[in-house]
Amino acid sequence: MRDRLADVTALLAMALAEDDTAVLADLAGELAALGDAVAAVQVRMRLDGAYDTHGAVVLVRAAAPDDPASTALAEALLRMYRQWADLHGLPTEVVTEHHASVAGLREATLVLAAPYAYGLLRGEDGRHAMTAADPFDHGRTRTGHALVEVSPLAQDDDPVALADEDLRVDLYCVRGPSRAGETRSTLHIRHLPTGIGVGLPYDRRARHRKAEAIRIIRSRLLVARGAPRDVRGYTAPSDFDGAARRPSP
């Protein structure tokens, strides 16, 4: 960054001496980009948690899987996290995605295998709420609730080991419409002591899928959070007491 700033300073002197407006415009863009880069470094200098430099596993779940407002919020949250990652050049992969029967999203798991993703996203961990107008009932609003769980993406040397006897591996096959004759297979791995489970499509990458599922389970076990959480599942109370956060674009 010092080298970039030195180059801009030297070019600026020449551009001013020659009154070169085109070069001045280019330098203004370079200074803006340099300012953004410095701001990003300043943010990362504050990320000093134990796992802040790790990638992230983001679990988004509708609080009530049969509530359209909640499933719509879960879908909106997943979309915003992916857009945010694209804006910052972070690679993403949606490894699990379960849609609601009517509309929206019941649950999805998003993996960001990029440095500092966990440090940048861990503030999103918790309960979210959003109130919006009901498109089918004018004049009425509905409030959707969703849970976001952010975990550091486990590395090979992280202190979380899973014993084989603690894992249950199941393969589910679901047949599609009779005319299509298509069969979909899902590999589901559950950690028996905690009930944490991950289901991934079972295909020719089966061995890779199993390793991927185990890594996600290790990630969700990696950090002991200050607030107790039932890792077997989450259901919002009827009044959804506690702090709720509105998602920002």
Cα 10 to Cα 5, 21, 28, 36: the distances in Å are: 9, 15, 14, 20
As a whole number of angstroms, the distance between CA 107 and CA 198 comes to 11
Residue 62 CB partners (closer than 8 Å, separation 6+): 70, 71, 73, 74, 100, 104, 105, 106, 107, 144, 145, 146
Q: Whole-model pTM?
A: 0.73
Q: Where are the chain's structural domains?
A: 2-45, 56-222
Q: Look at residues 61, 179, 83 and name the one whose alpha carbon lies nearest to residue 128.
A: 61
Residue 237 CB partners (closer than 8 Å, separation 6+): none
Per-residue pLDDT band for 175 (boundaries 50, 70, 90) equals low
- Longest distance between any two alpha carbons in the chain, whole Å: 77
Q: pLDDT digits over 202-228, tens only?
A: 777 667 788 888 899 999 998 754 333
DSSP letter assigned to residue 245: B
pLDDT at 180: 53
As a whole number of angstroms, the distance between CA 137 and CA 192 comes to 44
Q: Which of 111-125, 140-154, 233-247 has the lowest mean pLDDT?
A: 233-247
pLDDT at 75: 94
pLDDT over threshold 60, residue 239: no
Residues 118-145: what's their mean pLDDT?
A: 84
Place of tokens 């020659």: 18
pLDDT at 185: 80
Q: pLDDT digits over 9-35, tens only?
A: 999 999 999 888 888 899 999 999 999
pLDDT at 242: 33
CATH no. for 56-222: 3.30.70.1660
Contact predicate 124/58, CB 8 Å: yes
Per-residue pLDDT band for 229 (boundaries 50, 70, 90) equals very low
Residue 156 CB partners (closer than 8 Å, separation 6+): none
Per-residue pLDDT band for 235 (boundaries 50, 70, 90) equals very low
pLDDT at 171: 82
Contact predicate 51/25, CB 8 Å: no
pLDDT over threshold 60, residue 243: no
Q: For the chain, what percent of residues have pLDDT higher than 70?
A: 82
167-175/141-152 β-pairing = unpaired
Q: pLDDT digits over 39-90, tens only?
A: 888 888 888 888 999 999 999 999 988 888 899 999 999 999 999 999 988 9
Question: Mean of the per-residue pLDDT values for the chain?
Answer: 82
For 2, phi and psi rounded to 5 degrees? -65, -40
Helix axes 21-45, 2-18, angle to 10 degrees: 160
pLDDT at 135: 63
As a whole number of angstroms, the distance between CA 91 and CA 148 comes to 19
